[in-house]
């Protein structure tokens, strides 16, 4: 995984506060997050051998995160520390009645992950089966990662781009043309396609449009409605999510991407990998937190039977 590591500061509230309002919350906790780290942890808990390429601040959050990676069995040989920037942080409000959340993200050291850092981490990139990247680190670093992967010849990792968070400007075609699998939610897909994604039918159409545009498999995550996926030359397909009562949706999208990476690396064809990743992600909304809610491989076997 090449991407972000953030410390999550999570407050649960009885409702979302209005602008300018000070609202009393019901609980507070500090957890480990960041889209890249979440996806790496999910894949590792399912049994993948995971190496992270990431930057942390030289602070208490960075020290704690490194220990956390070790505890999760993740290779930290390419974790870099930054003296100039703090570790990345995410401030999260969770609406208790619905489990929905809002997030403010401060990149910190994540924003200092450079193309030179990526070139220094060439070995784990080219020896991986699946390379997961997101958009919480500089675009040039993600593009350099995919360029290295694509140029590797006989053993070429599958490049998976989670187009999140939605960028302020358009994503460069050069990056998307290096992408084997694009994963986006409704908002991100609408931005990329320049058209709304307000229904499953629109999602099917947009997935097909994006897949044709960049010759990559495209997956749109639709929250409780599941996902749609499309591959050039094949009709788009909708996979419904199991019906569950959500406690906290934080990290569910990352659980999907991390599960997808593990399932692809272990030889599952894309349609089956997508279907199984949806079901694993649905398990994570049943309890609070992002990584804290991610199941292990044994728990998946117990709950889902495979």
Residues marked as catalytic: 254
Nearest CA to 245 among 111, 96, 143, 103? 96
How would you label 204-241 residue by residue, b for 16+ Cβ within 10 Å and e otherwise?
bbbbbbbbebbebbbbbbbbebbbbbbbeeeebebbeb
Angle of helix 186-193 versus helix 200-214 axis, rounded to 10: 50
Q: Other CB atoms closer than 10 Å to residue 39's CB: what's the count? A: 32
First and final CA of the chain: distance in angstroms? 25
Give the ranges where 46-138 is alpha helix by DSSP (H).
60-71, 115-120, 122-126
Which residue carries 């908002």 as its tokens? 187
Tokens of 87: 């570790």
* Sequence-distant (≥ 6) Cβ neighbours of residue 137 within 8 angstroms: 2, 3, 4, 36, 54, 55, 107, 110, 111, 113
User: Contact 203/222 with Cβ under 8 angstroms?
Assistant: yes
Burial of 26 (0-12, 13-18, 19+ CB in 10 A): exposed
Nearest CA to 1 among 124, 112, 183, 111? 124
Distance CA 298, CA 305 (A): 10
> CA torsion, points 248, 253, 259, 265, in degrees to nearest 10?
-170
């Amino acid at each position: 995984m090449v991407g972000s590591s953030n410390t999550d500061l999570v407050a649960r509230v009885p409702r979302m506060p209005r602008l300018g309002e000070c609202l009393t919350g019901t609980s507070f906790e500090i957890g480990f997050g960041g889209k890249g780290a979440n996806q790496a942890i999910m894949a590792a808990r399912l049994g993948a051998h995971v190496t992270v390429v990431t930057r942390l601040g030289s602070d208490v959050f960075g020290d704690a995160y490194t220990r956390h990676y070790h505890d999760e069995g993740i290779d930290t040989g390419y974790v870099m520390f930054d003296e100039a920037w703090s570790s990345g942080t995410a401030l999260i409000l969770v609406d208790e009645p619905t489990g929905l959340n809002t997030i403010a993200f401060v990149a910190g050291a994540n924003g200092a992950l450079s193309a030179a850092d990526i070139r220094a981490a060439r070995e784990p990139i080219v020896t991986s089966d699946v390379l997961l990247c997101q958009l919480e680190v500089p675009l040039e670093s993600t593009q350099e990662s995919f360029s290295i992967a694509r140029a590797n010849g006989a053993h070429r990792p599958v490049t998976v781009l989670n187009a999140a968070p939605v960028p302020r400007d358009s994503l460069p075609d050069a990056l998307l043309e290096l992408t084997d699998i694009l994963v986006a939610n409704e908002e991100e897909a609408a931005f990329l396609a320049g058209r709304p994604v307000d229904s499953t039918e629109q999602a099917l159409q947009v997935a097909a449009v994006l897949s044709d545009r960049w010759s990559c498999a495209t997956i749109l995550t639709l929250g409780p409605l599941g996902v749609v996926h499309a591959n050039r030359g094949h009709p788009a397909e909708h996979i419904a999510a199991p019906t569950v009562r959500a406690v906290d949706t934080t990290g569910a999208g990352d659980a999907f991407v991390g599960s997808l990476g593990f399932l692809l690396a272990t030889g599952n064809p894309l349609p089956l990998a997508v279907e199984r990743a949806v079901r694993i992600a649905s398990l994570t909304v049943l309890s609070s937190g992002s990584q804290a809610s991610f199941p292990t491989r044994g728990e998946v076997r117990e709950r889902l039977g495979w």
